C-alpha cells in the first residue's frame, strides 16, 4: 500500500473478501467456516483436494476487496451493492476476529 508492504504469509490462502450490503452475521460465520475448512491442499501421500488450511497449519492472508461487488452497467463499474466503508470496516474487522477465534490468531494476517 503506497509502496509499503502491509503483510505477507508463507504457505496458505489469500482471501479476497468482497462485502455486500446484504451480508449479515450469518454469512460472516458461513464464510469463516468455509475458508478454514476448504480442502484445497494435498495430503502427505500427495492426494489432491484433501486437506484444509487448518489441517496443514497454514496461514490465511485476508484482503478487503470491495471491487468484487462490482456490477457493470454498460462500460462503467457500479459499486452500489458493496457495503459502505463505515459498515464494511466493522464487518471486515469482525470477520478477522471470527477467523482468529476459530483458528490460530497468529496465522491470520
In this structure, how many other beta carbons lie within 10 angstroms of the beta carbon of residue 18?
A: 18
**Set 25, 37, 57, 67: catalytic member:** 67
Distance CA 21, CA 59 (A): 28
The answer to whether residue 7 sits within a structural domain is no
16-55 tens-digit pLDDT: 999 999 999 999 999 999 999 999 999 999 999 999 999 9
Q: How far apart are CA 22 and CA 77, in angstroms?
A: 19
**pLDDT range class, residue 1, cuts 50, 70, 90:** confident
Domain contains 1: no
- On whether residue 67 sits in a domain, the answer given is yes
Total number of domains constituting the chain: 1
Q: Which domain holds residue 79?
A: 12-107
Q: What is the CATH number of the domain that holds 99?
A: 3.50.80.10
As a whole number of Å, the end-to-end CA separation of the chain is: 15
Q: What is the mean pLDDT of residues 70-90?
A: 94
Instruction: Confirm whether 2 is domain-assigned.
Output: no
Q: State yes or no: is 67 an active-site residue.
A: yes
Residue 31 covered by a domain: yes
Cα dihedral 92→2→105→68 (10° resolution): 40
Amino acid at each position: 500500500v503506497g509502496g509499503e508492504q502491509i503483510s505477507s504469509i508463507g504457505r496458505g490462502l489469500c482471501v479476497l473478501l468482497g462485502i455486500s450490503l446484504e451480508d449479515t452475521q450469518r454469512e460472516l460465520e458461513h464464510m469463516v467456516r468455509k475458508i478454514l475448512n476448504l480442502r484445497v491442499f494435498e495430503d502427505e501421500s500427495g492426494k489432491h483436494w484433501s486437506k484444509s488450511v487448518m489441517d496443514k497449519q497454514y496461514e490465511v492472508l485476508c484482503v478487503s476487496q470491495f471491487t468484487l461487488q462490482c456490477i457493470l452497467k454498460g462500460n462503467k463499474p457500479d459499486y452500489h451493492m458493496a457495503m459502505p466503508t463505515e459498515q464494511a470496516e466493522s464487518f471486515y474487522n469482525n470477520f478477522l476476529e471470527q477467523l482468529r477465534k476459530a483458528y490460530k490468531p497468529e496465522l491470520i494476517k
